[in-house]
Amino acid sequence: MECKLIDREGTFSGHLPLSNKTLPCRNYVTLAIIGCQSSGKSTLFNELFETKFPVLDAKKNGRQRTTLGIWSTTKNVDQLQNKESSSERGCSRQLVLLDVEGTDSRERQEPTKTFDLCTTLFCLTVADVILVNLWFRDVGRHQASNADLYASVFSTTLKWKEIEGLDVMRKKHLKTRLLIVIRDFEEVEASEDQVKWFISQDFRNIWKTVEKPKSLEDTVMEDIFILSFHFLPNVKYRKDEFVSSVSKLRERILHDDDSWSSSITDSLWKKEIPLQILEMFLKESWDLIKQRQGLNNDLNNISYFDLNTHKKCSFYLEQSWNEYKLMLIEFQRTVERNYSKPIEEFSKVANSLYNECLACYDRMAASFRNTSSYQLKRKLLGVKLTSELLEVRKFQIWAYRDQILHSFEIEFAPMIGAVGNFKKNAGNLVKRKVKDFQKCLEKCRVPGMLKEEELNDLQDLERTLRDQVQDRSREGELMFPMGLSSGNTSYSRRSTPWWKELLIKAFILYLQYLQSKANKRTQRKKMQNQERILPKGPTF
């Protein structure tokens, strides 16, 4: 479902639509599209990702603004690729799409450049990939290609990046990827290589004109941005070629193989901020950008944000994090060493580390306590701590889970499927073990974690136990097609020799032993899968 995230007045008004609000997901990429008004941005998103963003009807309404503010939606990547969910727990890759109001709008009465700058800076802050929608006929034109806007964006971005330093900026996964989409491309007028060179040169020339901070005087555009291109033919006169080219662009975006040179989103999918709390991050980022650029209800009243506050709060965040990072690493090692005997006071230690780190930040940044920068950086530090503690929690959960499974197998081993009150006894055993595991989960809570994390762990264990019960029940039905309920047990015992019953029981116990080994192998594979699907995300 597509909804308005930011309205035309610059108010954060909507909610990020999620297909699954309960399952924590850190496997997503955020895409935004920018460009001139009425240039087909929404139409391109609709073609690429099967969305339903409002589009221009020129015959009915003339050429006017269609997208007001910023619209958003999320899409399941597996569904777009017509695949089954790639994750055993259903947290498949997601796309977060931001459809941005067109620049250079004649309808906007207020200072349009301020709003355009804010929306573009917002995209640079939150998006992994920005699609720049550009008509082929506008290549080389100063106003139509938004040269002034990019100059302002580059200048502001450099001021922000001054905090991070060159070494951090040059890391590939932290660079913003600009995908220039050339619309209505005609090979007879220019080759693709010529257009790429011309646009790249334009961007470099704009970069050279930007005033840079002293510490970043030697930076080049490639230190912050990665440029890539895609060419689309005219949709009206070359429909088949357009559809084919859109399909190739979709594959470049959705493909996550780092070895494929054409992939646009390689190394971007693993995130530290769960998708379920991304909305909070989007709102805080937008409010901060509005405050910096003076975009309030009265857009004519422009007042610039004190960048020094932002710099210092960012510095204090890193200082606090570095001070407690080693303690978190040591905590994880302790949990791993005690795998066979999980730490009873896990939650207490986790809470202590979390609160002490935030208290350290509070002490350092006390003089900025009433600023939005202080609040935003504190929330980001909290998210960062929660993410790290959840990684440690996984080892503690696996240890408790193994203990529960082991005790279940011991008590479950004597039960023979389809014999007596098997279903009732097995059901009671499952309920008891799930209840025991729930008590263990209560000992593993960490600050800031979603309640759904605990619920999913509980449901996953219950599903595993019930699968074992069903397998045992099927085995019993194969061994005793007529059943051995309490009503016919005496008859069966009278008609079956004792040695045959003994052989049957021995055979069933052997099958149970094999099943137990198979279950352990399955659990190991699940754990390995979990580590592969949810590795540690990049820090921010």
- Do 56 and 167 belong to one domain? yes
CATH code of 118's domain: 3.40.50.300
- Do 356 and 258 belong to one domain? no
- Domain contains 324: yes
- Do 381 and 470 belong to one domain? no
Residue 22 has pLDDT above 90, yes or no: no
- Do 360 and 407 belong to one domain? no
Closest CA to 291 of 72, 79, 524, 114: 114
Position 540 confidence tier, pLDDT thresholds 50, 70, 90: very low
Indicate the residue among 386, 409, 426 that finishes a domain. 386
- Do 190 and 322 belong to one domain? no
Tens-digit pLDDT profile for residues 281-291: 788 788 878 77
- Domain contains 538: no
Indicate the residue among 278, 304, 330 that finishes a domain. 304
- Domain contains 255: yes
- Do 111 and 257 belong to one domain? yes
pLDDT, residue 354, reads 93
The chain-wide mean pLDDT, for the chain, equals 78
- What's phi and psi for 501, nearest 5 deg? -60, -40
Domain count, the chain: 3
Tens-digit pLDDT profile for residues 488-533: 443 344 455 766 767 777 777 777 777 777 777 777 777 766 666 5
- Do 101 and 149 belong to one domain? yes
Domain of 89? 3-304
Sign of CA dihedral 280, 174, 374, 382: positive
CA–CA distance, 160 with 307 (Å, rounded to integer): 8
Sign of CA dihedral 46, 50, 54, 60: positive
- Do 26 and 47 belong to one domain? yes
- Domain contains 59: yes
- Do 406 and 287 belong to one domain? no
Average of per-residue pLDDT across 296-315: 54
- Domain contains 540: no
What is the residue-wise DSSP string for 111-171?
-HHHHHHHHHHHHHHH-SEEEEEEEGGGTT-TTTTTHHHHHHHHHHHHHHHTTT-HHHHT-
Position 269 confidence tier, pLDDT thresholds 50, 70, 90: confident
- Do 382 and 451 belong to one domain? no
Position 231 confidence tier, pLDDT thresholds 50, 70, 90: very high
For residues 103 and 33, is the Cβ–Cβ distance under 8 A? no
Q: Count of CB atoms within 10 A of residue 130's CB?
A: 21
- Domain contains 175: yes
Residue 119 has pLDDT above 60, yes or no: yes
Residue 323 has pLDDT above 80, yes or no: yes
- Do 48 and 170 belong to one domain? yes
Residue 100 has pLDDT above 50, yes or no: yes
- Do 298 and 327 belong to one domain? no
The two structure tokens encoding residue 342: 């999980």
CA–CA distance, 286 with 11 (Å, rounded to integer): 9
- Domain contains 490: yes
Indicate the residue among 304, 330, 351 that finishes a domain. 304
- Domain contains 330: yes
